[in-house]
Chains A and B, each alone.
Chain A
Amino acid sequence: MKRLILWAPLVVFVVFVATVAIGLYAPADRKITSKLIGKPVPEFTLGPAVPSHPPLSSDMLKRGEPRLVNVFASWCLPCIAEAPQLMALKQRGIPIDAIAIRDRPADVATFLAKWGDPYERIASDPQTQVQIALGSSGVPETFIVDGRGIIRHQHIGDIRPEHIPDIIRAYEAAK
């Protein structure tokens, strides 16, 4: 038994190498179709994440026009990377709401001031309950919800400049 424990570090290391090797060689952006696509947004009501913006609930995503819902956090570095792309989408007239994960009002305000504010409503999800209900396991993620509250598209990870045409296409299709 004691002899076996001596090999444990090697086993951990082999798992590490296997994981990163997959990370290195896997195609950069694999498409994942979320199980929630085509299903209605789960019911939720959340408080505001920051005093300057109204909060968000699932009812507000069923008012006839499609919207983007961006799941983000002020402490998340890829969220900073995607901020210019969200601003670009907003300037094309796409309405964007947000859910801030495990965040504090002051941090969210600083984030918006520093990296841009494309959002109409921002909800606070301190315990990540809504995030989990949405089938999102990390930040950032972006959902496109049509006017009846049905999820039409899920983008996992940060939106890069090359993803913008896809997002716009999915948004137009949700109309």
Chain B
Amino acid sequence: MIAEAGLAALWLAAALSLLQLFFGATALRPGGEALLRAVRPAAMAQGLLAALSFLLLIQLFLRTDLSVKLVAANSHSLKPWLYKFAGAWGNHEGSMLLWVTILAVAGGAVALLERRLNERTLIATLAAQAAIGLGFYAFLLFASNPFERLNPAPAQGQGLNPLLQDPGLAFHPPTLYLGYVGISVAFSFAVGALVTRDVGPVFARAMRPWVLGAWIFLTLGITAGSYWAYYELGWGGWWFWDPVENASLMPWLAATALLHSVTVLATRDSLRAWTVMLAVVAFSMSMVGTFLVRSGILTSVHAFAVDPQRGAFILVLLGLYIGGALTLFGLRVHTVKEGATFEPVSREGALVANNLLLSAILGIVLVGTLYPLGVEAVTGEKLSVGPPYFNTAAGPIALVLVAVMAAGPLIRWRRDKVGELLGRIALPILIAAAGLFAAVLLAPGVRILPLLGLVLAAGTAAASVAPLWKRNLRRTPLFTWGMVVAHLGIAVSLAGMASESAFTREKLVAARIGDVVEVGPYTIRFDALEPVAGPNWTAIEAKLSARKGDGEPFTLNPQARMFSSPPTETSEAAIVTRWNGQLYTVLGKGDGQGRWQLRLWWKPAVTLIWFGGILIALGGLLAIIGRVRRERRGAPLQEAYA
């Protein structure tokens, strides 16, 4: 019954999205005003029904109802409950249902909470959100039904991909999706504003908290995904430029640019067309990402069920939505008057530079991700573009971007004097110079990109807290704190990335029991090898004891695991975190003559990468709270940014 109820809720939600689109479109025509009031309730009800449908799917997984095809194919009654729960979205159909649910709930939330926007623009926004939802409901109901029954029901399920049997699965996909799909609200806002030709500061202020909210989740989701890949894949890397990683990075880059341009629009009424364009691009990148991942058109470490027919379905949706929005943009945006102008040396100027640099990186990532596809379409060759391209092309631009970010908040709005600006950024530049001197003196031979990264991180950390200088900290607005914390997070993360790539020590050995290996400041002894068993796996576990100098020894137990259903081998890294870095150990294969492959890394300051990511998200949270609080108190006409 649960499956049927879930399917019914999904159909009802789809029907409501059709109604919502119809009401919205009719209400905007002359004489249709009577329907205006029907749109908000339809959006809220649709959100509730989609959420109900998703909760029922989770219920089916928790009960391991094997008469449902999706559960039988992806779950197993012996699995720990957390993975039964998270298994609901650890597959194609379930994750698409999560996708649609977030889309509908975001639309419902806009209907419930948004009071600032012009009513007609809001109705157009909700109609656009419904139009997106409709296509994805059709995709679920006709091509990826998660509630399909299986008759007869099998005695046991096939189990979940062991790489996914990790607490990361409970956290990473939902947060990433909240950001990924939440940014659809910005897309709908842009479409709504183009329909009613209503692009201005009010529109920007209304859109900003939604963009911020989605961006926070996107940041957290990427950070969590990076850490998960780092410890689960056992490759010791935190970013692989894999197409799926790029698919999440591209909306983040666009959303970050949008976040800054929307502030210029809200504060100074500039960058109107550009902001609308970015709002369209951000969610378009989410949809392109979903398409690339689900159609199986690119080779990736993320193995989703691949089906060209589904790919074609998503491609048609993509064509309709993105093509439609861009056509509307082409037709309408010239009627949007360009707002206020500004001098090149000004806060606006710095934010424009930020936007252009972010867009350049976005372009590089997009081209690199799609290049293999383009080559294959033209010549039929298959190839892979890897880190040599991305790091070389995007790395230097990213460093310039960080430098602009460091200076930006110290520049005045409208117009600033270069001489005065130099005075304000003198101290951060001195700190960066001292950092360069220290790095060259203490650690010679560091490659140029990591070296610049370290130096820039030091200068940026100083510059990012500079806006608080000589201010009454208790009266500083919360959103200024948000900016400071987020920018500091970038510096912290950059320091971690640069340190990881400059100072990592790696050892790859074939060791016998009793052997001693040194890596970085640690001495590691291979003590023993033991079999161990878990609820649905068996493993060989190495007992390693590590010590630094004469310090207290501690143990690490990396495992080579064998899962029974489905039969798969994975390696579980053992990681020990110290204040100044991580010791990362992996047990590989035996050679049959008593020697075992061990891979050992000492990664100084690597944890800063993810700590920085959390700081960035925290900054976003402070900004959103600060903005909403100020709006509640009655927003002043000319608002301050920092």
Is the A/B pair a real complex?
yes
Chain A interface (Cβ < 8 Å from any Cβ of B): 2-3, 6-7, 9-10, 13-14, 16-17, 19-26, 30, 32, 73, 75-79, 81, 102, 106, 109-110, 113-114, 137-140, 156-158
Taking a contact as CB atoms under 8 Å apart, the answer to whether A113 and B373 are in contact is no
Using CB atoms, name the residue of chain B closest to A109: B508
Taking a contact as CB atoms under 8 Å apart, the answer to whether B384 and A114 are in contact is no
Q: Are A138 and B508 CB-contacts (below 8 A) given A17-B318, A17-B323, A77-B301?
A: no
> Shortest distance in angstroms between A65's beta carbon and chain B's nearest beta carbon?
28
CA distance A80 to B165 in the complex (A): 22
User: Would you call B536 an interface residue if the criterion is a C-beta within 8 Å of the partner chain's C-beta atoms?
Assistant: no
Taking a contact as CB atoms under 8 Å apart, the answer to whether B597 and A16 are in contact is no
Q: Are A9 and B379 CB-contacts (below 8 A) given A14-B323, A113-B588, A113-B599?
A: no
Taking a contact as CB atoms under 8 Å apart, the answer to whether A26 and B311 are in contact is no
Taking a contact as CB atoms under 8 Å apart, the answer to whether A81 and B299 are in contact is yes
CA distance A147 to B454 in the complex (A): 52
Return chain B residues, CB-CB under 8 Å to A32.
Answer: 379-381
CA distance A114 to B280 in the complex (A): 42
Return chain B residues, CB-CB under 8 Å to A19.
Answer: 370, 373-374, 377
CA distance A109 to B382 in the complex (A): 25
> Shortest distance in angstroms between A9's beta carbon and chain B's nearest beta carbon?
5
CA distance A113 to B376 in the complex (A): 30
CA distance A88 to B322 in the complex (A): 46
Residue in B312, B326, B374, B382 whose CB lies within 8 Å of A9: B326
**Most chain A CB atoms below 10 A, which of B235, B334, B508:** B508
Closest 10 CB pairs of A and B: A138-B383, A157-B382, A75-B386, A10-B326, A22-B377, A76-B384, A30-B380, A7-B330, A102-B388, A19-B377
Taking a contact as CB atoms under 8 Å apart, the answer to whether B329 and A9 are in contact is yes
> Shortest distance in angstroms between A62's beta carbon and chain B's nearest beta carbon?
27
> Shortest distance in angstroms between B449's beta carbon and chain A's nearest beta carbon?
14
Taking a contact as CB atoms under 8 Å apart, the answer to whether B327 and A106 are in contact is no
User: Would you call B375 an interface residue if the criterion is a C-beta within 8 Å of the partner chain's C-beta atoms?
Assistant: yes
CA distance A23 to B315 in the complex (A): 12
Taking a contact as CB atoms under 8 Å apart, the answer to whether A156 and B382 are in contact is yes
Q: Are A113 and B315 CB-contacts (below 8 A) given A6-B334, A24-B295, A26-B377?
A: no
Using CB atoms, name the residue of chain A closest to B376: A23
User: Would you call B242 an interface residue if the criterion is a C-beta within 8 Å of the partner chain's C-beta atoms?
Assistant: yes
Residue in A16, A24, A75 whose CB lies within 8 Å of B311: A24
User: Would you call B387 an interface residue if the criterion is a C-beta within 8 Å of the partner chain's C-beta atoms?
Assistant: yes
Return chain B residues, CB-CB under 8 Å to A139.
Answer: 383-384
User: Would you call B333 an interface residue if the criterion is a C-beta within 8 Å of the partner chain's C-beta atoms?
Assistant: yes
Taking a contact as CB atoms under 8 Å apart, the answer to whether B381 and A23 are in contact is no
User: Would you call B297 an interface residue if the criterion is a C-beta within 8 Å of the partner chain's C-beta atoms?
Assistant: yes
CA distance A21 to B312 in the complex (A): 8
User: Would you call B308 an interface residue if the criterion is a C-beta within 8 Å of the partner chain's C-beta atoms?
Assistant: yes
